[in-house]
Protein backbone atom coordinates (compact mmCIF):
# COMPACT_ATOMS: atom_id res chain seq x y z
CA UNK A 1 0.00 0.00 0.00
CA UNK A 2 1.51 3.36 -1.00
CA UNK A 3 2.08 6.00 1.66
CA UNK A 4 0.40 9.24 0.60
CA UNK A 5 2.52 11.36 2.96
CA UNK A 6 5.74 9.72 1.81
CA UNK A 7 4.91 10.18 -1.85
CA UNK A 8 3.96 13.84 -1.43
CA UNK A 9 7.06 14.55 0.69
CA UNK A 10 9.30 12.84 -1.86
CA UNK A 11 7.81 14.90 -4.70
CA UNK A 12 8.13 18.05 -2.61
CA UNK A 13 11.82 17.41 -1.92
CA UNK A 14 12.58 16.82 -5.60
CA UNK A 15 10.72 19.95 -6.74
CA UNK A 16 12.30 22.03 -3.97
CA UNK A 17 15.79 20.88 -4.98
CA UNK A 18 15.12 21.77 -8.61
CA UNK A 19 13.82 25.27 -7.78
CA UNK A 20 16.61 25.90 -5.24
CA UNK A 21 19.22 24.97 -7.84
CA UNK A 22 17.72 27.33 -10.42
CA UNK A 23 17.35 30.15 -7.87
CA UNK A 24 20.89 29.67 -6.52
CA UNK A 25 22.46 32.65 -8.40
CA UNK A 26 20.04 34.96 -6.55
CA UNK A 27 20.94 33.60 -3.12
CA UNK A 28 17.26 32.88 -2.45
CA UNK A 29 15.74 29.48 -1.65
CA UNK A 30 12.24 28.66 -2.88
CA UNK A 31 10.81 28.92 0.66
CA UNK A 32 12.31 32.41 0.99
CA UNK A 33 11.06 33.34 -2.46
CA UNK A 34 7.51 32.46 -1.42
CA UNK A 35 7.81 34.66 1.65
CA UNK A 36 9.25 37.55 -0.35
CA UNK A 37 6.36 37.30 -2.84
CA UNK A 38 3.78 37.09 -0.08
CA UNK A 39 5.16 40.14 1.73
CA UNK A 40 5.44 42.04 -1.53
CA UNK A 41 1.73 41.47 -2.13
CA UNK A 42 0.65 41.77 1.53
CA UNK A 43 3.03 43.92 3.59
CA UNK A 44 2.50 43.99 7.34
CA UNK A 45 1.49 40.37 7.82
CA UNK A 46 2.13 38.80 11.19
CA UNK A 47 4.13 35.60 11.58
CA UNK A 48 0.91 33.72 12.35
CA UNK A 49 -0.95 35.01 9.31
CA UNK A 50 2.04 34.18 7.09
CA UNK A 51 2.24 30.67 8.54
CA UNK A 52 -1.43 30.18 7.78
CA UNK A 53 -1.18 31.59 4.24
CA UNK A 54 1.89 29.46 3.46
CA UNK A 55 0.62 26.34 5.30
CA UNK A 56 3.87 26.30 7.30
CA UNK A 57 4.32 25.59 10.96
CA UNK A 58 5.31 28.67 12.96
CA UNK A 59 8.62 27.21 14.18
CA UNK A 60 9.90 26.56 10.66
CA UNK A 61 8.65 29.93 9.45
CA UNK A 62 10.26 31.74 12.40
CA UNK A 63 13.64 30.14 11.60
CA UNK A 64 13.36 31.21 7.96
CA UNK A 65 12.25 34.74 8.88
CA UNK A 66 15.25 35.09 11.21
CA UNK A 67 17.65 34.24 8.37
CA UNK A 68 15.88 36.65 6.05
CA UNK A 69 15.95 39.39 8.68
CA UNK A 70 19.68 38.81 9.25
CA UNK A 71 20.14 39.18 5.47
CA UNK A 72 18.22 42.48 5.76
CA UNK A 73 15.61 41.36 3.22
CA UNK A 74 12.74 41.86 5.67
CA UNK A 75 12.10 43.81 8.83
CA UNK A 76 9.53 43.63 11.58
CA UNK A 77 7.72 46.20 13.62
CA UNK A 78 5.92 45.33 16.84
CA UNK A 79 2.17 45.05 16.94
CA UNK A 80 -0.18 46.13 19.72
CA UNK A 81 0.76 42.93 21.53
CA UNK A 82 4.54 43.00 22.08
CA UNK A 83 4.80 39.36 20.99
CA UNK A 84 3.21 40.16 17.64
CA UNK A 85 5.47 41.22 14.77
CA UNK A 86 4.39 42.74 11.47
CA UNK A 87 6.76 41.97 8.61
CA UNK A 88 7.59 43.92 5.47
CA UNK A 89 10.18 43.82 2.71
CA UNK A 90 13.15 46.12 2.88
CA UNK A 91 14.61 47.73 -0.21
CA UNK A 92 17.21 44.92 -0.24
CA UNK A 93 14.37 42.39 -0.06
CA UNK A 94 12.56 44.03 -2.97
CA UNK A 95 15.80 43.99 -4.97
CA UNK A 96 16.40 40.32 -4.07
CA UNK A 97 12.86 39.44 -5.18
CA UNK A 98 13.37 41.20 -8.51
CA UNK A 99 16.67 39.37 -8.98
CA UNK A 100 15.05 36.00 -8.20
CA UNK A 101 11.87 36.48 -10.25
CA UNK A 102 13.34 35.67 -13.70
CA UNK A 103 15.11 32.63 -12.24
CA UNK A 104 11.82 31.46 -10.69
CA UNK A 105 10.13 31.89 -14.09
CA UNK A 106 12.90 29.77 -15.60
CA UNK A 107 12.32 27.08 -12.95
CA UNK A 108 8.59 27.18 -13.67
CA UNK A 109 9.24 26.67 -17.38
CA UNK A 110 11.75 23.84 -16.76
CA UNK A 111 9.36 22.09 -14.40
CA UNK A 112 6.49 22.41 -16.88
CA UNK A 113 8.68 20.90 -19.62
CA UNK A 114 9.85 18.08 -17.35
CA UNK A 115 6.26 17.30 -16.34
CA UNK A 116 4.73 17.87 -19.77
CA UNK A 117 2.76 14.64 -19.51
CA UNK A 118 1.16 15.73 -16.22
CA UNK A 119 -1.93 17.94 -15.94
CA UNK A 120 -0.15 20.60 -13.85
CA UNK A 121 -3.20 22.86 -13.66
CA UNK A 122 -5.26 19.94 -12.37
CA UNK A 123 -2.49 18.96 -9.96
CA UNK A 124 -2.28 22.54 -8.67
CA UNK A 125 -6.05 22.66 -8.15
CA UNK A 126 -6.00 19.29 -6.36
CA UNK A 127 -3.15 20.34 -4.06
CA UNK A 128 -4.87 23.68 -3.32
CA UNK A 129 -8.09 21.83 -2.52
CA UNK A 130 -6.23 19.41 -0.26
CA UNK A 131 -4.51 22.27 1.59
CA UNK A 132 -7.86 24.03 2.06
CA UNK A 133 -9.47 20.88 3.45
CA UNK A 134 -6.65 20.10 5.87
CA UNK A 135 -6.24 23.72 7.02
CA UNK A 136 -9.90 24.03 7.95
Residue 107 half-sphere exposure toward CB, CA atoms < 13 A:
22
Number of domains, the chain: 1
> pLDDT tens-digit profile of 34-83?
999 999 999 999 999 999 999 999 899 999 999 999 999 999 998 888 78
**What is the distance between the alpha carbons of residues 114 and 120, in angstroms, rounded to a whole number?**
11
Query: Could you list the residue range(s) of the whole structural domain that residue 125 is in?
Result: 4-135
Per-residue pLDDT at 49:
94
Contact of 96 with 27, CB cutoff 8 Å? yes
Name the CA radius of gyration of the chain, rounded: 16
Contact of 74 with 88, CB cutoff 8 Å? yes
CATH of the domain at 111: 1.10.10.10
User: DSSP characters for 70-92?
Assistant: HTTSEEEEE-SSTT-EEEEE-HH
Amino acid sequence: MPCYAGSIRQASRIVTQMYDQTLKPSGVKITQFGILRLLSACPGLTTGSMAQALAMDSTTLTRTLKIMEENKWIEARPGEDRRERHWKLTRAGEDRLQQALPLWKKAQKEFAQMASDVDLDGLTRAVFHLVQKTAA
